[in-house]
Structure 1
Amino acid sequence: MTFSSLPQDHQRRTAGRRADALMDEDVAWSESDEERDGEQFDREDRAALRRVAGLSTELEDVTEVEYRRLRLERVVLVGVWTSGTVKDAENSLAELAALAETAGALVLDGVIQRRDKPDPATYIGSGKAQELRDVVLETGADTVVCDGELTPGQLIHLEDVVKVKVVDRTALILDIFAQHAKSREGKAQVSLAQMQYMLPRLRGWGQSLSRQMGGGGSSSGGGGMATRGPGETKIETDRRRIREKMAKMRREIAEMRTDREVKRQERKRNRVPSVAIAGYTNAGKSSLLNQLTGAGVLVENALFATLDPTVRRAETPSGRVYTLTDTVGFVRHLPHDLVEAFRSTMEEVGEADLILHVVDGSHPAPEEQLAAVRSVVREVGAHDIPEIVVVNKADVADELTVQRLLRQEKRAIAVSAHSGLGIEQLLAWIDADLPRPGVELEVLVPYTQGALVSRVHAEGEVLSEEHTPEGTLLKAQVHQELAALLEPYAPAARS
Structure 2
Amino acid sequence: MSVFNRAETDQFSYGAATYILCPILEGDSRTAPEGREEEAKGLARAIGLDIIACRSFKVRRPNAKTLIGGGQVEAAMEAIEANNIEIVIVDNVLTPIQQRNLENKFKTKVIDRTGLILEIFGERAETAEGRLQVELAHLDYQAGRLVRSWTHLERQRGGFGFLGGPGETQIEADRRMIRARMAKLRRQLAEVQKTRGLQRKRRQRAPWPVIALVGYTNAGKSTLFNRLTGRDMLSADMLFATLDPKMAEIKLPGIAKVILSDTVGFVSELPTQLIAAFRATLEEVLNADLILHVRDISHEETFLQKQDVENVLSELGLNISGPDEDIISEKSDIPIMELWNKCDLLDEDAKEDLTHKVSQDKNIMLISAHNGEGIDNLINVISQKLLEGSEQKQIIFAPQHGAALAWSYENGDVEELSRDENGNVTANIILPKTLWGRFSERFQDIMVDI
Equivalence for 1:389: 338
1:241 alignment partner, SS class = helix
Aligned residue identity for 2:412 = E
Displacement of 1:290 in angstroms is 1.6
Q: Show the 5 A alignment for 1:156-167.
A: 156-167=100-111
Given that residues 399 and 424 in structure 2 are in contact (C-alpha distance below 8 angstroms), is that contact kept between their aligned partners in structure 1? yes
Partners of 1:308 and 1:349 in 2: CA distance: 14
Equivalence for 1:96: 40
- Which one of the candidate residues 400, 404, 418 is aligned to 2:370? 418
Partners of 1:304 and 1:119 in 2: CA distance: 31
Equivalence for 2:222: 286
Aligned residue identity for 2:259 = T
- Which one of the candidate residues 263, 267, 279 is aligned to 1:343? 279
Point out which structure has higher relative CO (alpha carbons under 8 A, 6+ apart). Answer: 2
Q: Show the 5 A alignment for 1:17-416.
A: 71-82=14-25, 83=27, 88-203=32-147, 238-383=174-319, 384=328, 385-399=334-348, 401=350, 403-404=353-354, 407=357, 410=361, 411-416=363-368
Displacement of 1:298 in angstroms is 2.2
2:343 alignment partner, SS class = coil
Equivalence for 2:156: none
Partners of 2:82 and 2:35 in 1: CA distance: 25
Are 1:476 and 2:420 an aligned pair? no
Farther-moved stretch of structure 1 (364-373 vs 82-91): 82-91
2:268 alignment partner, SS class = coil
Given that residues 320 and 461 in structure 1 are in contact (C-alpha distance below 8 angstroms), is that contact kept between their aligned partners in structure 2? no
Displacement of 1:319 in angstroms is 2.5
Displacement of 1:353 in angstroms is 1.7
Structure 1: gaps (5+ residues)? 1-64, 205-233, 489-495
Equivalence for 2:160: none
Q: Deviations over 1:295-340 (max 9, x none)?
A: 3322222211111111212222112432111000000110000000
Given that residues 80 and 118 in structure 1 are in contact (C-alpha distance below 8 angstroms), is that contact kept between their aligned partners in structure 2? no
Displacement of 1:397 in angstroms is 2.6
Given that residues 247 and 261 in structure 2 are in contact (C-alpha distance below 8 angstroms), is that contact kept between their aligned partners in structure 1? yes
2:344 alignment partner, SS class = coil
Displacement of 1:168 in angstroms is 0.6
Displacement of 1:188 in angstroms is 0.4
Aligned residue identity for 2:276 = E
Displacement of 1:452 in angstroms is 3.2
Aligned residue identity for 1:337 = Q
Partners of 1:406 and 1:167 in 2: CA distance: 44
Change (3 A) 1:289 1:475: farther
Equivalence for 2:403: 451
Q: Which has the higher helix share?
A: 1
Displacement of 1:247 in angstroms is 0.6
Displacement of 1:117 in angstroms is 3.9
Given that residues 277 and 326 in structure 1 are in contact (C-alpha distance below 8 angstroms), is that contact kept between their aligned partners in structure 2? yes
Displacement of 1:464 in angstroms is 6.4
Q: Show the 5 A alignment for 1:436-447.
A: 439-441=391-393
Partners of 2:130 and 2:266 in 1: CA distance: 15
1:95 alignment partner, SS class = helix
Equivalence for 2:323: none
Farther-moved stretch of structure 1 (407-416 vs 307-316): 407-416
RMSD: 3.4
> Greater Rg, structure 1 or structure 2?
1
Change (3 A) 1:161 1:260: same
Displacement of 1:401 in angstroms is 5.0
Equivalence for 1:462: 413
Equivalence for 1:30: none
> TM-score if structure 1 supplies the norm length?
0.71
Q: Deviations over 1:217-237 (max 9, x none)?
A: xxxxxxxxxxxxxxxxx7597
Change (3 A) 1:117 1:428: farther
Paired residues in the alignment total 392
> TM-score if structure 2 supplies the norm length?
0.78
Partners of 1:322 and 1:79 in 2: CA distance: 43
Partners of 2:231 and 2:198 in 1: CA distance: 23
Displacement of 1:474 in angstroms is 6.5
Identical-pair percentage: 34
Equivalence for 1:24: none
Given that residues 406 and 413 in structure 1 are in contact (C-alpha distance below 8 angstroms), is that contact kept between their aligned partners in structure 2? no
Displacement of 1:471 in angstroms is 11
1:303 alignment partner, SS class = coil
Change (3 A) 1:447 1:292: farther
1:123 alignment partner, SS class = coil
Farther-moved stretch of structure 1 (365-374 vs 194-203): 194-203
Displacement of 1:187 in angstroms is 0.3
Partners of 2:82 and 2:444 in 1: CA distance: 77
Partners of 1:253 and 1:475 in 2: CA distance: 45
Change (3 A) 1:483 1:450: closer
Change (3 A) 1:406 1:308: farther
1:395 alignment partner, SS class = helix
Q: Deviations over 1:246-287 (max 9, x none)?
A: 011001001011221111101212343211000011111111
Displacement of 1:238 in angstroms is 1.0
Partners of 1:366 and 1:325 in 2: CA distance: 22
Partners of 2:412 and 2:30 in 1: CA distance: 53
Q: Deviations over 1:195-220 (max 9, x none)?
A: 0111111259xxxxxxxxxxxxxxxx
Given that residues 436 and 461 in structure 1 are in contact (C-alpha distance below 8 angstroms), is that contact kept between their aligned partners in structure 2? no
Q: Deviations over 1:173-210 (max 9, x none)?
A: 00110100000000000000110111111259xxxxxx
Partners of 2:211 and 2:194 in 1: CA distance: 21
